[in-house]
Amino acid sequence: MINRTKIEEYLEKQRPEIDKIIEKYLPKKATKKWLDYTFGKSRYFYSQKAAQEVLIKPAQEFLSRGGKRWRPVLFLLITQAIGGNLKKIKDFLIIPELCHEGSIIIDDQEDDSELRRGKPCLHRIFGTDVAINAGNFFYFLPLITLIKNKKKFKPEVICRAYETYIQEMINIHLGQGTDIYWHKGKAKKIKEKEYLQMCAFKTGCLSRMAAKLAVVLSEKDNQLAEKVGQIAEAIGIAFQIQDDILDITLEGKERAKFGKSFGNDIKEGKRTLMVIHTLEKANQKDKKRLLEILDKHTDDLEERKEAIEIIKKYGSIEYARKVAREIIEKSWQEAEKLLPESKAKEKLEDCVNYLIKRRI
């Protein structure tokens, strides 16, 4: 069995190094040097103050809240597990991480969520305009690593890296869009396969991106990138299912650590795997009531709890756990065949298990 404390410690230990790399490209101060490096020499004159207040400040505030940084760790571990040159490519870990940070800033704005990592969502502190702009800035800024380090690679490699990024970013918007469409209550019936596809894009894209970039920048072949990407995608799917489970199960101290308000997904009307399973299994009365609560986007805690009780009644939490476990197990069998034995591989397995068994 997995030792949760050990892997949590491991993630914690990687953090300063990861944050140091992020700071290299996104410092705490919008210095003239950083502006020239990042945006090129100005044609006229930069407003350093504006850059500080509207890009750096919200970005740093958000990053300082924490986050598990597991996507960059995935990038690092895969690089090691396939025998890549870690020193040469480690700066690129900021791509999946900053892109992820951007996507949750945007996601919170889209859903008008309340809390993220235990604090008010970014748009609630800095305003919609600043938050969207900062979130979208994160979609492009980390690719500066590809621009600045291109001479260390063949153009083919840099091309594949851009392509990997762009394709995942195209796909993530179908995933997110599908999720949005559903929680507006517009779809009559959602198939489990459609839900899993939505997760594969909404959440899987970013871990697939982290994994594929590790392979591509390690200059391994496309086939390996595809296979490793598929495994990472599965991890992302299982992570999302676990995230949905935590949303309706965590209470008390653990909830505070989780950093989102209780039953937030119920409020948003999200069609999670558990909801889909319940709608499949429930009697007419329960089904009707669950849909009613989901579609009214309720702030009422009692109603949220009522919905969760219906979900529990049909064993849907257990069902979702089972699906997540199966997806991970099947994918890990693939990884077993693909990756030679190594310490990095062991850590990777711990990490994978942690992500679906985590309680925060």
Cβ atoms 300, 224 nearer than 8 A: no
In whole angstroms, the minimum distance from the beta carbon of 108 to its own copies comes to: 11
We find the least distance from the C-beta atom of residue 214 to its own copies, in angstroms, to be: 19
- Residues 45-64 contacting its own copies, CB under 8 A: 45-47, 49-51, 53-55
177, 185, 259, 315: which one binds its own copies (CB under 8 A): 177
By CB under 8 A, the count of residues binding its own copies is: 71
Q: Is 95 in the site for its own copies (CB under 8 A)?
A: no
Decide: residue 156, CB within 10 A, 0-12 exposed, 13-18 middle, 19+ buried. exposed
Helix, strand, coil percentages, rounded to 5, for the chain: 80, 0, 20
Among 73, 196, 210, 348, binds its own copies (CB under 8 A): 196
Residue 226 CB, nearest approach to its own copies (Å): 10
The residue type found at 324 is: A
| Nearer Cβ to its own copies (111/350) | 111
- Minimum separation from the CB atom of position 140 to its own copies (A): 4
CB of 16 to its own copies, least distance (A): 26
Contact pick of 9, 17, 129, 346 for its own copies (by CB under 8 A) = 129
- Closer residue to its own copies in complex, CB, 23/129: 129
Query: Measured in whole angstroms, how far is the alpha carbon of residue 312 from the centre of its chain?
Result: 26
Site for its own copies in 283-312 (CB under 8 A): none
Residue linked to tokens 């990884």:
335
Distance CA 210, CA 205 (A): 9
Q: How far apart are CA 274 and CA 192, in angstroms?
A: 10
Query: What is the per-residue binding string for its own copies in 130-149, x denoting contact by CB under 8 A?
Result: x-xxx-xx-xxx-xx-xx--
**C-alpha span between 299 and 112 (Å, rounded):** 13
Q: Does position 19 bind its own copies by CB under 8 A?
A: no
Q: Is 170 exposed, middle or buried (0-12, 13-18, 19+ CB in 10 A)?
A: exposed
Q: How far apart are CA 55 and CA 223, in angstroms?
A: 38
Q: Is 85 in the site for its own copies (CB under 8 A)?
A: no
Stretch that binds its own copies, among 13-21, 156-164, 244-252, 298-306 (CB under 8 A): 156-164
Strand pairing partners for 120? 115
Does 33 interact with its own copies (rule: CB under 8 A)? Answer: no
Q: How many helices (H) and strands (E) does the chain have?
A: 21, 2
Of the residues 178, 240, 242, 353, which one makes contact with its own copies according to CB under 8 A? 178
What is the smallest separation between the CB atom of 7 and its own copies, expressed in angstroms? 27
**Quick one: 14 or 240, whose CB is closer to its own copies?**
240
Would you mind telling me the total number of residues written for the chain in this entry?
360
C-alpha of 288 from chain center: 32
- Residue 46: CB minimum distance to its own copies, A: 6
Q: How far apart are CA 109 and CA 156, in angstroms?
A: 37
Q: How far is the CB of 40 from its own copies (least distance, A)?
A: 7
- Quote the Cα angle for 13-339-3, to 5°: 40
The answer to whether 53 and 125 have CB atoms below 8 angstroms apart is no
Residue 182 beta carbon to its own copies: minimum distance, rounded to whole angstroms: 7
Q: For the purposes of burial, counting CB atoms within 10 Å of the CB of 97, is it exposed (0-12), middle (13-18) or buried (19 or more)?
A: buried
Q: Is 324 a binder of its own copies (CB under 8 A)? A: no
CB of 321 to its own copies, least distance (A): 19
For residues 137 and 314, which CB has a smaller minimum distance to its own copies in the complex?
137
| 114 counts as binding its own copies under rule CB under 8 A | no
Q: Which position among 77, 121, 198, 310 is part of the footprint of its own copies (CB under 8 A)?
A: 198
CA distances from 33 to 27, 148, 237 (A): 11, 15, 40
Residues in region 226-255 near its own copies by CB under 8 A: 230, 233
